[in-house]
Amino acid sequence: ETGVTQTPRHLVMGMTNKKSLKCEQHLGHNAMYWYKQSAKKPLELMFVYNFKEQTENNSVPSRFSPECPNSSHLFLHLHTLQPEDSALYLCASSQDVGERVGYTFGSGTRLTVV
């Protein structure tokens, strides 16, 4: 356990479904991040939240909708996904976006779109 918990660990969804990924941390961190890791590709930064405010969206398609209700929780709402969206989705947190020590990552949600 790293202190960042992601649920579910595995998710299979159809292209017309709506689902949500959840990330939770009780490390007292103020910044949270979503990354996507497709097969044989580097991790791609998707969204950055700092003190509940979105500070970065790296041209992510609108079928991915993040939500950060408080500094401890981060969601990724999914709708009308494509098979190429199948990937490992990783959440991370840090004390703030300027944190030098490093990010703490969760174990990820393995998403399969069928």
Partner 1 sequence: DAKTTQPPSMDCAEGRAANLPCNHSTISGNEYVYWYRQIHSQGPQYIIHGLKNNETNEMASLIITEDRKSSTLILPHATLRDTAVYYCIVRVDQGSGNTGKLIFGQGTTLQVKP
Binding site for partner 1 (CB under 8 A): 2, 4, 35, 42-43, 45, 48, 56, 88, 90-92, 97-108, 110
User: Residue 52 or residue 110: which is nearer to partner 1 going by CB?
Assistant: 110
User: Residue 16 or residue 53: which is nearer to partner 1 going by CB?
Assistant: 53
3-state secondary structure labels for all residues of 39-97: CCCCCEEEEEEECCEEEEECCCCCCEEEEEEECCEEEEEEECCCHHHCEEEEEEEECCC
User: Residue 79 or residue 110: which is nearer to partner 1 going by CB?
Assistant: 110
Tokens of 82: 């494509």
Give least dist CB 45 to partner 1, A. 6
